[in-house]
């Protein structure tokens, strides 16, 4: 998964990658060359007392060192730039994919997990790429080059390396194997902490109202402790890694000095060669250390890449049409034909063979008990979900074949729980129509019975709105959401219980103003309150996902038992007449 993700995302950066690999190669060669130069200075300059030789080779050492620093800086620069670009691209890809998701996919992953995947998971992969470019490219060259150069200094002494390299390799891989499952658990527990935290922040008022602070604190502490526990377990393994490596390094240094001293004593080796050999040993161990560091990062990045790929490879269940219809001939004609809908994983369908026809200039109302499928039915029109059977037609065209932007322009849904974005009243109202003038905004506010309260706000149309619209009341939020839809001027208006938070007088005034404003449009209203819908041209009665009645208020009062029961639970016989 990691390789697949990297291959896909690093494709556009071949040139800088090639450049940085070349720079890393040069700087590693320079690093490998320096101990040999040093050995030459000791053996042929210091031991022989040749100052000219010392100055000449000293000069070369300075030049090689400068070249090494320049190449290293360049490699780190390009490495950091490419890694940052990769992070940006992956985040953008996840964002695009999530934008295409329907409610079903968002529900499957959950918002907190999608946020962790877009931020923390991408950062882990980005970090690995940065480390690879800045350290890992040079590690194998340094290891192999170090061994070759060490052999060049003294072949018998190089036997020490035969023991050092495998011992290090085995020790490191044993530790890394135990780390891998811990990293997966760590990312999952991070998800849990995010989920709990998010729920507690958004549900803050409920927590206070039910005095559940203690319970929630315990829940967060539990999630936090679980994350800490797994982080400590990986920390302990990491802590084990470095002493292991250092023990191998120190023991092998002693062995080199011991055997090297004997070889010098017997005249088989010079003192400069021994210092060079020690330097190469350090470089080899350093490269193994770098690889170790990488091995520690790879399992976590692998887990993160898997989680990222899972999002990127998930297709939306609401598929955009291949050859979309870009123009509609009629205007505002909505028809739901024998529609069935079943939520994924649910045993029973929520809607069964539902038929509905709504025409321009008419108001169609849907009433039914809680959970009878009213919101689900409205959600089928703007394709929040697609029917599992049957059809939804706008102006005679199946919504699944309509170009998504055309559908969005034609149909506008005011959801049961309206959402406002952080910004101002004006930016929210212009959400579906950025070119709307201030006069149009005020007009929409007037119809939505929100003009008065916006006028009273200190900055009027430019008054700030908090994320989610939490700084206005539920009723004000509903009215702003209705105004936002009016500004968009769609042909089909869908109001999902959008008047529920309004008092009776405001509800009546709003519907009066709305009927004039939307006289030409198709209006579908879902409501629990009979007074909201009794004047509708047609009322559809839903019961457990089936249409059990259709007609005007009076027709249904005369002939539909379910409707009568709903009405008489709210009004007296005289009021209902
Ligand atoms: N995302 C979902 N996954 C599974 N089942 C769901 C989901 N959303 C709703 N349901 C179920 O579908 C049924 C219909 O829900 P829906 O929200 O359409 O009802 P409703 O008539 O609008 O209710 P209310 O009047 O309370 O808003 C309910 O039984 C509900 O439990």
The Å distance, Cα 373 to ligand 1 centre, comes to: 6
Q: How far is the CA of 466 from the centre of ligand 1 (A)?
A: 28
415 lines ligand 1 (CB under 6 A): no
CA distance 358 to 127: 55
**Longest CA span, the chain:** 122
- Residue 528 alpha carbon, nearest atom of ligand 1: 25
What pLDDT was estimated at residue 482?
A: 92
- Report the 10 Å Cβ neighbour count for 419: 11
Query: What is the C-alpha to C-alpha distance for residues 317 and 293, in angstroms, rounded to an integer?
Result: 41
SS3 320: coil
What is the CB-side half-sphere exposure of residue 141 using CA atoms within 13 A?
17
- CA-nearest residue, atom 12 of ligand 1: 350
CA distance 572 to 515: 26
Cβ(350) – ligand 1 distance below 6 Å: yes
Q: CA–CA separation, 138 vs 143, rounded Å?
A: 9
What pLDDT score was predicted for residue 184? 78
The number of the ligand 1 atom at minimal distance from the alpha carbon of 378 is 18
Decide whether any atom of ligand 1 lies within 6 Å of the 371 Cβ.
yes
> How many whole angstroms separate alpha carbon 165 and alpha carbon 156?
16
The torsion angles phi and psi of 497, rounded to 5 degrees, stand at: 50, 40
Alpha carbon nearest to ligand 1 atom 31, residue: 371
Q: What residue spans of 418-496 are helical by DSSP H?
A: 425-429, 438-447, 451-456, 474-488
- Amino acid 345: pLDDT: 76
Report the half-sphere exposure of 53 (CA within 13 A, side-chain side).
14
| Look-up of token digits 């890394």 | 176
Pocket probe for ligand 1: among 102, 103, 345, 374, the residue whose CB has the most ligand atoms within 8 Å is: 374
Please name the residue whose Cα sits nearest to atom 6 of ligand 1: 343
CA of 223 to the centre of ligand 1 (A): 30
Nearest CA to ligand 1 atom 29: 371
Both structure tokens of 355: 């038929």
For the CA of 368, the closest atom of ligand 1 is: 21
Q: How far is the CA of 348 from the centre of ligand 1 (A)?
A: 12
Beta strand pairing status for 411-414 and 492-496?
Answer: parallel
What are the backbone angles phi and psi of residue 403, rounded to the nearest 5°? Answer: -60, 130
d(CA 281, CA 288): 11
Q: Whose CA is nearest to atom 10 of ligand 1?
A: 343
**What are the φ and ψ backbone dihedral angles of 328, each rounded to 5 degrees?**
-115, 140
Q: 203-219 burial, b if ≥16 CB within 10 A, otherwise e?
A: eeeebeeeeeeeebeee
- Report in angstroms the alpha-carbon separations of 478 from 98, 374, 415, 445: 26, 18, 9, 11
What was the pLDDT predicted at 91? 95
Q: Cβ neighbours of residue 490 under 8 Å, at least 6 residues apart?
A: 409, 410, 411, 412, 432, 521
Report which protein residue has its CA nearest ligand 1's atom 26.
Answer: 370
Q: How far is CA 153 from CA 56, 262, 266, 271, 274, in A?
A: 21, 15, 16, 11, 8
Long-range Cβ contact pairs of 198-202 (< 8 A, separation 24 or more): 198/111, 198/112, 202/468
- Bridge-partner residues for 28, per DSSP? none
Q: What's the pLDDT at 437? A: 92
- What confidence score (pLDDT) does residue 351 get? 93
Index of the ligand 1 atom closest to the CA of residue 345: 4
Nearest CA owner, ligand 1 atom 13:
371
What local confidence, expressed as pLDDT, does residue 107 receive?
81
Q: Looking at ligand 1, which residue's alpha carbon is closest to its atom 3?
A: 343
376 within ligand 1 shell (Cβ under 6 A): yes
Q: 31 in ligand 1 pocket by Cβ < 6 Å?
A: no
pLDDT at 241: 80
**How far does the centroid of ligand 1 lie from the alpha carbon of residue 471, in Å?**
28
Q: How far is the CA of 371 from the centre of ligand 1 (A)?
A: 5
The string of DSSP letters for 368-421 reads: ESTTSSHHHHHHHTTTSS--SEEEEEETTEEGGGB-HHHHHHHEEEE-SS----
Tokens of 45: 């300059």
For a pLDDT cut of 70, what percent of the chain falls above it? 100
Which residue ranges make up each domain of the chain? 2-312, 334-576
CATH class entry, domain 2-312: mainly alpha
Separation of CA 375 and ligand 1 centre (Å): 7
Question: Measured in angstroms, how far is the CA atom of residue 309 from the centroid of ligand 1?
Answer: 31
- pLDDT at position 44, please? 85
Element housing 351 (H / E): strand 351-358
Mean pLDDT (10-residue bins), the chain, 577 residues:
80 88 90 88 84 89 93 91 93 92 83 88 91 83 87 82 82 80 84 86 85 90 94 88 83 87 84 86 82 76 89 87 82 90 85 92 90 91 90 91 89 89 92 90 91 88 86 88 92 88 82 84 89 87 90 87 86 72
- Where does 266-363 have alpha helices with state H? 271-312
Gap from CA of 350 to ligand 1 centroid (Å): 7
Cα(342) to ligand 1 centroid in Å equals 10
Contact call for residues 382 and 554 (beta carbons, < 8 A): no
pLDDT in tens, 513-531: 888 888 888 999 998 888 8
Centroid of ligand 1 to alpha carbon of 376 (angstroms): 6
438 CA → ligand 1 middle, Å: 38
Choose the CATH number for 334-576 among 3.10.20.740, 3.40.50.300, 3.20.20.10, 3.40.50.261: 3.40.50.300
ipTM value = 0.95
Residue nearest to atom 18 of ligand 1 (CA): 373
Instruction: List Cβ neighbours of 37 (8 Å cut-off, separation of 6 or more).
Output: 57, 60, 61, 64
How much is the pLDDT for 364?
93
């Amino acid at each position: 998964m990691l390789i697949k993700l990297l291959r896909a995302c690093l494709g556009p950066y071949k040139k800088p990658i090639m450049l940085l690999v070349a720079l890393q190669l040069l700087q590693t060669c320079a690093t490998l060359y320096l101990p040999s130069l040093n050995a030459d200075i000791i053996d042929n300059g210091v031991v022989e007392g040749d100052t000219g030789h010392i100055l000449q080779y000293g000069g070369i050492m300075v030049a090689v060192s400068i070249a090494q620093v320049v190449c290293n800086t360049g490699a780190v620069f390009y490495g950091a730039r490419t890694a940052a670009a990769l992070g940006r691209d992956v985040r953008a890809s996840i964002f695009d994919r999530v934008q295409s998701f329907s409610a079903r996919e968002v529900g499957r992953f959950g918002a907190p997990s999608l946020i962790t995947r877009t931020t923390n998971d991408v950062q882990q992969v980005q970090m690995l790429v940065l480390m690879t470019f800045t350290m890992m490219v040079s590690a194998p060259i340094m290891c192999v080059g170090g061994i070759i150069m060490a052999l060049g200094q003294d072949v018998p002494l190089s036997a020490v390396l035969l023991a050092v390299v495998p011992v290090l390799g085995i020790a490191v891989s044993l530790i890394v194997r135990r780390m891998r499952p811990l990293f997966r658990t760590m990312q999952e527990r991070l998800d849990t902490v995010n989920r709990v935290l998010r729920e507690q922040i958004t549900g803050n008022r409920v927590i206070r109202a039910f005095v559940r602070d203690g319970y929630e604190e315990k829940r967060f502490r539990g999630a936090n402790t679980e994350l800490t526990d797994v982080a400590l377990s990986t920390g302990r393994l990491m802590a084990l890694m470095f002493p292991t490596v250092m023990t191998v390094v120190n023991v092998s240094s002693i062995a080199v000095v011991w055997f090297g001293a004997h070889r010098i004593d017997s005249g088989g080796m010079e003192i400069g060669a021994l210092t060079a050999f020690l330097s190469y040993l350090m470089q080899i161990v350093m490269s193994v250390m770098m690889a170790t560091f990488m091995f520690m990062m790879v399992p976590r990045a692998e887990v993160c890449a898997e989680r990222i790929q899972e999002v990127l490879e998930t297709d939306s269940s609401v598929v955009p049409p291949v050859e979309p219809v870009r123009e509609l001939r009629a205007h505002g004609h909505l028809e739901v034909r024998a529609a069935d809908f079943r939520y994924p994983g649910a045993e029973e369908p929520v809607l069964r063979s539902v038929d509905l026809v709504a025409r321009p200039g008419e108001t169609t109302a849907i009433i039914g008990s809680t959970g009878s499928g009213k919101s689900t039915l409205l959600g089928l029109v703007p394709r929040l979900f697609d029917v599992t059977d049957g059809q939804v037609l706008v102006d005679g065209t199946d919504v699944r074949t309509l170009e998504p932007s055309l559908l969005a322009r034609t149909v506008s849904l005011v959801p049961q729980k309206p959402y406002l974005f952080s910004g101002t009243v004006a930016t929210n109202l212009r959400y579906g129509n950025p070119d709307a003038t201030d006069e149009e905004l005020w007009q929409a506010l007037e119809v939505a019975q929100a003009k008065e309260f916006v006028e009273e706000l200190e900055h009027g149309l430019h008054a700030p709105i908090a994320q989610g619209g939490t700084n206005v009341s539920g009723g004000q939020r509903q009215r702003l959401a209705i105004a936002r839809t009016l500004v968009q001027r769609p042909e089909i208006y869908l109001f999902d219980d959008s008047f529920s938070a309004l008092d009776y007088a405001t509800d009546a005034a709003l519907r009066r103003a709305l009927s004039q404003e939307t006289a030409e449009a198709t209006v579908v209203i879902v409501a629990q309150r009979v007074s909201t819908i009794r004047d509708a041209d047609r009322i559809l009665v839903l019961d457990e996902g089936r249409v059990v009645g259709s007609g005007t208020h009076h027709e249904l009062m005369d002939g539909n038992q379910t409707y009568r029961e709903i009405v008489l639970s709210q009004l007296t016989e005289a009021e209902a007449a």
